[in-house]
């Protein structure tokens, strides 16, 4: 494996980790506020469908982005209505949203486009164009540093850079702002927050709004990356993002490295369809299943002691 191949694999890892990172940060905000969001998968799927459909009809990915974020926000508000306002079971609400998105996208897609649930292929302004950073072409000729800058750092879309920027921004919001302090307090001890005269319901809804926007961005990125929507294109990424969140122990910077690890495994699986280790040939199915195998290992508890927010998954009933 030469240096250029390593750079290309890392470049693919960043691209594949982008929707995972945005979805993981969405789960981070909601769970820090005490709302378990199993429905990340559904939000990701509905955002990918609506953004792909809107971009196909209008020819603009930016209109598609607005549609994707709007759809994800609608699902977030449904989850909030069920689990915060009506104090229903958060896990059941999230799973219901996942089933709803899986069926709704296919039925509506077939009704709109008659393509078996797919949207028309996106091209031109219907997809995000890569951003070439300054001096990328000139630096490409410099040994070692040049290819890394030109291939790995430059040439990504706006949402990739936004996702990377969202990590330090999320850290600042959660750990350096008054809003973040209150949000984390709601996830740990909502009764104390309520006693201080701060609305627990308002903060939890605010967390779900942030989660909806981030999932909308992730879904739009998926639709742009694949040049359109196809059935079940989220492919379990919402669940993988939840596993990465546990792996990251509900911290933004750890979430970045966790999702990059998942992205790396997927990139390796895509590039090397089979690997020979002596007389043993590892089949392509195993390589493609690597991210999901890691998900199972993480959820089995091989990441040390990951302690979630104490009030996570618990509906808050205001004392009278």
pLDDT in tens, 76-95: 999 999 999 999 999 999 99
pLDDT in the model for residue 256: 95
**Residue scoring higher pLDDT (281 or 189):** 189
Q: What is the predicted pLDDT for the residue at 295? A: 73
Residue with the bigger pLDDT between 304 and 205: it is: 205
Q: Is residue 186 part of a domain?
A: yes
Q: Are 314 and 292 in contact (CB under 8 A)?
A: no
- Residue range 252-267: mean pLDDT, rounded: 91
Host H or E run for residue 282: strand 280-282
What is d(CA 67, CA 48) in angstroms, rounded to the nearest whole number? 9
Number of domains in the chain: 1
Which residues does residue 276 pair with via DSSP β-bridges, in sequence order? Answer: 281
Secondary element (H or E) of residue 281: strand 280-282
3-state secondary structure of 276: strand
Q: How confident is the model at residue 228 (pLDDT cuts 50, 70, 90)?
A: very high
pLDDT at 288 over 70: yes
Position 137 pLDDT exceeds 90? no
Token output for 89: 């079971």
CATH number of the domain encompassing residue 149:
1.10.3470
Q: Give domain status of residue 286, yes or no.
A: yes
Answer yes or no: is 311 within a domain: no
Structure tokens at 211: 């989660």
pLDDT band at 150 (very low <50, low <70, confident <90, very high): confident
Backbone region of residue 52 per phi and psi (left: phi > 0; alpha: psi in -120 to 50; beta: other values): alpha
Residue 127 is classified by DSSP as: S
Domain assignment present for residue 83? The answer is: yes
Q: Is residue 205 part of a domain?
A: yes
Please check the confidence at residue 69 and state whether its pLDDT lies above 70.
Answer: yes
Q: Looking at the domain assignment, is residue 138 inside a domain?
A: yes
For 286, the domain range is 3-302
And the tokens for 213? 């926007």
For residue 23, is pLDDT > 90? yes
pLDDT band at 49 (very low <50, low <70, confident <90, very high): very high
The count of residues in the chain is: 320
pTM comes to 0.93
Percent of the chain scored above 70 by pLDDT? Answer: 96
Of 123-132, 277-286, 308-317, the one with minimum mean pLDDT is 277-286
Q: What is the CA radius of gyration of the chain?
A: 20
The pLDDT-based confidence of 71 (bands split at 50, 70, 90) is very high
pLDDT digit string, tens, across residues 209-222: 999 999 999 999 99
Rounded-to-10 torsion of CA 28, 29, 30, 32: 80
Whole-number pLDDT of residue 320: 63
Mean confidence (pLDDT) of the chain:
90
Q: Is 304 helix (H, G, I), strand (E, B) or coil?
A: strand
Question: What's the pLDDT score for residue 304?
Answer: 65
Q: Residue 303: pLDDT above 70? A: no
Which residue matches tokens 């639709």? 223
- Report whether pLDDT(146) > 90: no
Judge whether 320 lies within some domain.
Answer: no
- pLDDT tens track for 92-131: 999 999 999 999 999 999 999 988 889 999 989 999 999 8
Q: Is residue 266 part of a domain?
A: yes
- Cα three-residue angle 72-56-229, rounded to 5 degrees: 55
Q: State residue 148's pLDDT score.
A: 85
pLDDT of residue 301: 62
- Direct distance between the N- and C-terminal alpha carbons of the chain, in angstroms, rounded to an integer: 66
């Amino acid at each position: 494996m030469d240096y250029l191949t390593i750079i290309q694999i890392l470049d693919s890892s960043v691209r594949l980790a982008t929707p995972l990172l945005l979805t993981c940060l969405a789960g981070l905000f909601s769970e820090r506020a005490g709302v378990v969001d199993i429905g990340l998968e559904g939000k990701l799927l509905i955002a990918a469908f609506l953004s792909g459909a809107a971009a196909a009809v209008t020819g603009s990915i930016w209109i598609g982005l607005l549609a994707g974020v709007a759809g994800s926000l609608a699902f977030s508000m449904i989850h909030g209505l069920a689990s915060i306002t009506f104090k229903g079971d958060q896990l059941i609400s999230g799973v219901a949203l996942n089933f709803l998105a899986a069926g709704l996208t296919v039925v509506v897609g077939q009704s709109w486009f008659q393509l078996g649930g797919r949207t028309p292929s996106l091209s031109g302004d219907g997809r995000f164009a890569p951003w070439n950073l300054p001096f990328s072409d000139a630096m490409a000729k410099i040994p070692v540093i040049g290819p890394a800058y030109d291939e790995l750092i430059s040439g990504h879309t706006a949402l990739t850079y936004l996702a990377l920027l969202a990590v330090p921004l999320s850290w600042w919001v959660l750990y350096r702002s008054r809003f973040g302090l209150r949000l984390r307090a709601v996830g740990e001890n909502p009764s104390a927050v309520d006693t201080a005269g701060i609305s627990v319901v308002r903060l939890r809804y605010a967390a779900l709004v942030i989660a909806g926007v981030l999932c909308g961005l992730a879904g739009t990125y998926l639709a742009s990356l694949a040049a359109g929507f196809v059935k079940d294109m989220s492919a379990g990424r919402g669940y993988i993002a939840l596993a990465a969140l546990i792996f990251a122990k509900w911290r933004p910077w750890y979430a970045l490295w966790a999702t990059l690890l998942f992205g790396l495994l997927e990139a390796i699986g895509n590039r090397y369809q089979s690997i020979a280790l002596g007389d043993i040939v590892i089949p392509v199915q195993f390589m493609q299943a690597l991210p999901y195998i890691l998900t199972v290992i993480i959820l089995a508890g091989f990441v040390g002691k990951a302690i979630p927010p104490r009030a996570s998954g618990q509906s808050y009933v205001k004392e009278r």
